[in-house]
Structure 1
């Protein structure tokens, strides 16, 4: 069976298994097939390590810990849907407290993120983003965390959040 290139992540594994047993070498070595298998990452996968250049807000969380629920969310200051969802993430952090650790990771530079945190958050009674956000905000270290999560999951955009269960696996 030749892959269509329009498969969903759940079907990529079965397509790559089918091509392994196919005798047509052009299908078995298809770049689309090898990329699909290489990028298969999702529920049940062990959570990758986070690599942070600088913690901009909140207590540093140097690693994903088994026994702890973590939400690793990728965002940017220029991303409208990311920014719109941030107050909700802050509300969830406040609601769940120490039971869940929320970590917002961005690829942007320190100056840009610092300016964002000092800006007034629209519609929230004159508070700055640093006052609104109750969860950790971090700068990715040379795209290492982005590559370990976003690229490995074959995601193409942000916002993107990954829930890591107490087992240390993506849920």
Structure 2
């Protein structure tokens, strides 16, 4: 177990992308070892604070080093290249070291034995080479001065915090192990059934998953998708869909609401068999909650996750201008500094640009990516168009 007072493990990274290589911890110096990734929004948000800490305490023998051990890419070379480009674009004047590790060695040495299950995670190595703190980087402003004056490691506060951290880490790892034990046999049945398009077997596996993990939004959304779109079983599927919508709204979760919206307004799905009045009522309810939770005028927020389906609802409802506006906001949110994996970014951008072209009925571009209108794209139904005109006339 790695905890406060443990000797610090060695630093074994593949490359140092910023700063001089660190071969060992020097006696008399204090080191902040920060595990992070470019796709992790809290990690990115913490970086300016680490820059400030490095600048503020450099004369006191403090050295910050970031360990990028979680970059997502198909190969180490691709991950290293993406990371280097990201640092150049976003932190060109970074004042602390950045080490890169794709092998998993740093996780085995530091994260796993300390029961640290998420990033960002900060380790502080004290002047004698022992661990003084493990926790979130947001805590460093309070904890670091106490470490530097020598009073932290002997305090009741430090011991209590470390004990609580370990207990929480053990609970989280236990839950992850339990969930993995539940999902592995389910995926062993679900994956081949989905590939073979054996929807009955896939449904059986998903229903098993939902029974033991009702709060897993991915299984819940797939349950609705199989019934409504693969098997076109409205009698069974509509109650499942209604419950998904209710739970998404009750949880006030944009992720859940986006998952429900995609079942209702994904252009790739044929919804012609779905009762129009109920489909649009659900879409209206979800859209209003999503936009209240993550409004267009608010700069932050990953709008690209939910706004595509919301825009499709407005488009099919006859409000083309609103649909265009929301897609454009979603595209702008992809350009903000909260990074997502490149493959996902390209996939989402492609779908949004295609939607924009369809809504405008003309070629649309975002950066180098362009699209032309598609034939057969879901449009407002004649029945709904007549109803809308009637409402305007009255």
> Normalising by the residue count of structure 1, what TM-score does the alignment of the two structures yield?
0.68
Q: Against the structure 1 CA distance between its residues 141 and 68, is the aligned structure 2 distance closer, same or farther, given a 3 Å change threshold?
A: farther
Match of 1:170 in 2: 131
The answer to whether the Cα contact below 8 Å between 1:52 and 1:138 also exists between their aligned partners in 2 is: yes
Match of 1:153 in 2: 114
* Equivalent residue in structure 1 for 2:37, among 57, 70, 76: 76
Q: Against the structure 1 CA distance between its residues 88 and 58, is the aligned structure 2 distance closer, same or farther, given a 3 Å change threshold?
A: same
Match of 2:52 in 1: 91
For residues 84 and 15 of structure 2, what CA distance do their matches in structure 1 show?
11
When the two chains are superposed, the root-mean-square deviation of aligned CA atoms in Å is 1.3
Per-residue CA distance 1:76-99 (angstroms, 9 max, x = gap): 000000000101101111111151
For residues 61 and 130 of structure 1, what CA distance do their matches in structure 2 show?
20
Q: Against the structure 1 CA distance between its residues 117 and 164, is the aligned structure 2 distance closer, same or farther, given a 3 Å change threshold?
A: same
Give how far 1:101 is off.
1.1
Within 5 Å, give how 1:1-171 maps onto structure 2: 40-98=1-59, 99-107=61-69, 108=71, 109-119=79-89, 121=90, 129-131=91-93, 133-140=94-101, 142-171=103-132
**Partner secondary structure for residue 81 of structure 1:** helix
Give how far 1:141 is off.
5.7
Q: Which has the higher helix share?
A: 2
> Normalising by the residue count of structure 2, what TM-score does the alignment of the two structures yield?
0.30
The answer to whether the Cα contact below 8 Å between 1:45 and 1:170 also exists between their aligned partners in 2 is: yes
* Structure of higher CA gyration radius: 2
Unpaired stretches in structure 2, ≥5 consecutive residues:
72-78, 133-394
Give how far 1:66 is off.
2.5
Unpaired stretches in structure 1, ≥5 consecutive residues:
1-39, 122-128
For residues 65 and 134 of structure 1, what CA distance do their matches in structure 2 show?
19
**Partner secondary structure for residue 114 of structure 2:** coil
Higher relative contact order (CA 8 A, sep 6+): 1
For residues 70 and 141 of structure 1, what CA distance do their matches in structure 2 show?
22
Match of 1:8 in 2: none
Give how far 1:65 is off.
2.2
Runs of 4+ off more than 4 Å: none
Give how far 1:46 is off.
0.3
**Partner secondary structure for residue 138 of structure 1:** strand
**Partner secondary structure for residue 130 of structure 1:** coil
**Partner secondary structure for residue 95 of structure 2:** coil
For residues 150 and 66 of structure 1, what CA distance do their matches in structure 2 show?
23
